[in-house]
Chain A
Amino acid sequence: AQSVSQHNHHVILSEAASLELGCNYSYGGTVNLFWYVQYPGQHLQLLLKYFSGDPLVKGIKGFEAEFIKSKFSFNLRKPSVQWSDTAEYFCAVTTNTGNQFYFGTGTSLTVIP
């Protein structure tokens, strides 16, 4: 069965530090990959997505992610985090067998000013 793993459950960083959140999926076929963010008290918002083409995807607020097919990974990066990036980050996958999202367990990011 398809699954999504996020290795970091809780990350604490100081402002201006670099961020990388891991995401791996298990599915041998074509996938579409997403990162969603959930700020405290708010709903899930799309950060970025990959369907095809350039495996390095740039999203909103300075985030980017790289799809590495050989590693089944789609890690999220940001060179310099801000306090306002404090949120829960979810990796998600859809496959060519259906339109449901498979979510990871989420990574809670706390940025200390």
Chain B
Amino acid sequence: EPEVTQTPSHQVTQMGQEVILRCVPISNHLYFYWYRQILGQKVEFLVSFYNNEISEKSEIFDDQFSVERPDGSNFTLKIRSTKLEDSAMYFCASSDGQNTDTQYFGPGTRLTVL
């Protein structure tokens, strides 16, 4: 069964540094998402992406964040200047349609900002 994959599984960075989290969505899916889960808190929506542009974003997704689909398979989340409070588990998800379709999640990348 096809799966969403994410790399790296764990990223440690210094405050102020840029990080790029990578995701490979399921190949025939058209909608891509990023979520994050701060330790002990709920999974929060960050952004959705369709047709090479952002279709929805939350208040969390400020100017420090950006997403890109640099080629036909990868979907990346960039944090320009990391803050301590960016430490969280970041999940990528993909679906082949809109809100009536199931989103399939990757295993997550644990980001630790020191």
The interface on chain A, measured as residues whose beta carbon lies within 8 A of the other chain's beta carbons, has a size of 25
Chain A residues 64-103 with CB under 8 Å of chain B are: 90, 92, 94-96, 98-103
- Chain A residues near B87: list those with CB within 8 A: none
Cβ-neighbour of B105 out of A32, A43, A96 (below 8 A): A43
CB <8 Å contact, B42 and A105: yes
The interface on chain B, measured as residues whose beta carbon lies within 8 A of the other chain's beta carbons, has a size of 26
- Chain B residues near A92: list those with CB within 8 A: 43
Q: Quick check: which of B11-19, B68-76, B78-86, B95-103 contacts chain A, the rest being far away?
A: B95-103
CB <8 Å contact, A94 and B45: no
Q: Using CB atoms, name the residue of chain A closest to B6.
A: A43
B96 CB, nearest partner CB in chain A, Å: 12
- Chain B residues near A51: list those with CB within 8 A: 100
Q: Give Cα A99 to B99, complex, Å.
A: 4
**Measuring CB to CB, which residues of chain B are less than 8 angstroms from any residue of chain A?**
4, 31, 33, 35, 41-45, 48, 55-56, 58, 91, 93, 95, 98-100, 102-108
**Measuring CB to CB, which residues of chain A are less than 8 angstroms from any residue of chain B?**
4, 32, 34, 36, 42-46, 49, 51, 90, 92, 94-96, 98-106
